[in-house]
Amino acid sequence: MDLIGKKVLVTGAAGFVGSHLVEELVRLGVIVRAFVKYNSKGGLGNLKKLPKDIFDKLEIIGGDLRDIEGVKKAVESCDVIFHLGALISIPYSYENPRGFIETNVMGTLNILEAAKEFSVKKIVITSTSEVYGTALYEPIDEKHPLQAQSPYAASKIAADKIAESFYRSFNMPIAIIRPFNVYGPRQSTRAIIPTIIYQALTKDKIKLGSLTPKRDFTYVKDTVRGYIKIAESENSIGETINIGFGETVSMGDIVETIKSILEKDFEIETDESRIRPEKSEVRLLICDNKKAKELLGWKPKVSLIEGLKQVINYIKDNLHDYKSEENLK
């Protein structure tokens, strides 16, 4: 499917990945309807950081994924849906598991029911590598067992299975994208890479959780290309597709790499609030991206070193935003 000129709904558009996807879609000539969570202040999250020529082309709708009527209004007349909207904070999922089920599971169900009603031509549902839990074998392909090591992961597994059931039961044109750890400009300090960089730029001692878990980090623009290729491809219908770099690195290694780029040394102090419960910690994630390469012709382009440099430059240029973010904690 050629997306140019198509009307596309992006849920979670105000988020980190969502804003990058929206930006790229507009640049490609796609008509974008951005669905953002309604709030009384009219906050638009990362959308307000987009260039004006991009922002001015958006149709922005405020609402709540849990509201089926609001979701139907957002979906109506759209050709394609990119469903990224979700609660994503793993630590918060320990505090509010019900909220994660209501938003991530019921919200996805609402999107699927609306897509069915309006005969949407392609639906891309966002999963997460967290559904795999700690790797039982590596690299992790799409056939790896699913392990709910947090309420967040459980909610995403349930959402994936509901999407799969709609494909099998109603022959809907659904694909599931399963991104591994995404990083890049605009990401908040809730994520590990921005919190290391921001603290390293502003402090002599930084607070972090465990440094031993290993992750597969993928630059956001590579992930966005994965979304778009999945939407465009007929081969992706009914498929779950990993999008990840294919290499693993520990949190400690990330710290050392950032030290090297910045040419700065700093002390590390353990922040207990960032350490997951023992049975909940995912120790190792590494992506087998063979399916994405074969089905879509997708492969990552941005190396970890280059990506980290891009994030460092972005945070340097936007220190005030990150300082404001820190003050909200």
DSSP string, 97-128: HHHHIIIIIIHHHHHHHHHHHTT-SEEEEE--
Which domains can be identified in the chain, with CATH numbers? 7-184+219-246+286-302 (3.40.50.720)
For 3-17, 225-239, 265-279, 295-309, which range has the lowest pLDDT when averaged over its residues? 265-279
Angle at 321 between CA 320 and CA 322, to 5 degrees: 90
Count other Cβ atoms within 10 Å, centred on residue 323.
11
Question: pTM, whole model, 2 decimals?
Answer: 0.95
Amino acid at 6: K
pLDDT digits (tens, 9 = 90+) for 283-299: 899 999 999 999 999 99
Count other Cβ atoms within 10 Å, centred on residue 75.
24
- The pLDDT value given to residue 313: 98
In whole angstroms, give the CA distance from residue 42 to residue 56. Answer: 16
Q: Of 92, 132, 152, 322, which one is the catalytic site residue?
A: 152
Q: Select from 234, 28, 299 the least CA-distant residue to 20.
A: 28
Q: Which two tokens stand for residue 202?
A: 């502003």
152 is catalytic: yes
- 8 Å CB contact between 308 and 245: no
Q: Which residues pair with 126 in a beta bridge?
A: 177
Q: What's the mean pLDDT in 147-160?
A: 97
Q: Are strands 267-270 and 214-215 parallel, antiparallel or unpaired?
A: unpaired
Q: Which two tokens stand for residue 98?
A: 């019900």
Q: What's the mean pLDDT in 310-317?
A: 98
